Amino acid sequence: MTPVRTLIAIATLAVVSATTTQAATLAEIQKTGVFRVGTEGTYPPFTYHDASGKLTGFDVAIARAIGARLGVKVAFLEGRWDGLIAGIDADRYDAVINEVGITPARKKKYDFSQPYIASKAALIVRSDDTAIKDFSDLEGKTAAQSLSSNYGAIATRNGATLTGTDGFAQSIALVLQHRADATVNDSLSYLDFKKHKPDAPVKLVATLPNADYSGVLIAKNQPELLAAINEALDAMKADGTYLKISQAYFGEDVSK
């Protein structure tokens, strides 16, 4: 008969084995010829589907340009924001490219490329709302947010109760439907939204002064992959590729 202690040890080892994975190295990615990128596909203008159903957006273009410089094909794997980063832990992705904010908490567990986009947190409300003029006015209000996003944390810090959403489009929809009072979201997303829907009855009432920076998120202990991604970003900025992508989606350089 196998001792109970041994059975427990075997069970524990099985759990560890099931939850511990080894991220693909740069050499392995180049050998397979595929760079697996996690992204939402529901967050315009960064990652979304156009009228034909094709995945497109600023981050999608950046990912494809990185892949080209790594000499591999980019395979996009779409998922909800709240589970994207966990996909790195499960070795589902080699990277997440989805305007992931570079934060101290995330840097403890993951590595980031150099920043490739800068944005500001914007407070967005209905056009007829006169009560919310600044972030401090969110006290006691409801904010439509992706629950684990930086923007959700800003809303919470200012006293808002969060209503969970899948991304910017749903957040705006809930505000327009009077199911939320406001959303704290990306200023660039708002500008893109108003460019396509100038008559939408929402307005931007405040932005935070400091820019937030986003980078390509990868697993820890992948120095060759990290260096290759940074070299690709440098090359894109040097040869004008980055500026061309930036102007296509925002009309200006959004790297700083």
Render pLDDT for 36-80 as a digit per residue (tens, 0 to 9). Answer: 999 999 988 899 999 999 999 999 999 999 999 999 999 999 999
Give dist(CA 162, CA 143) in Å, integer: 5
Which residues, including other chains, have CB under 8 Å from residue 118's CB and lie 6 or more apart?
A: 211, 212, 213, 214, 254, 255, 256
Spatial strand order of the sheet with 142-145 comes to 161-164, 142-145, 182-186, 121-126, 202-207
Residue 118, beta-bridge partner list: 213
pTM, to two decimals: 0.70
Percent of the chain with pLDDT over 90: 75
Q: Mean pLDDT score of the chain, rounded to an integer? A: 90
Q: Tokens at residue 107, please?
A: 């840097």
Residue 222 has pLDDT above 70, yes or no: yes
Please answer whether residues 186 and 151 qualify as being in contact, where contact means their C-beta atoms are separated by less than 8 angstroms.
yes
Q: What is the CA radius of gyration of the chain?
A: 20
Chain centroid offset of residue 141 CA: 25
Domains, the chain, in order of start with CATH, read: 24-118+213-250 (3.40.190.10), 121-207 (3.40.190.10)
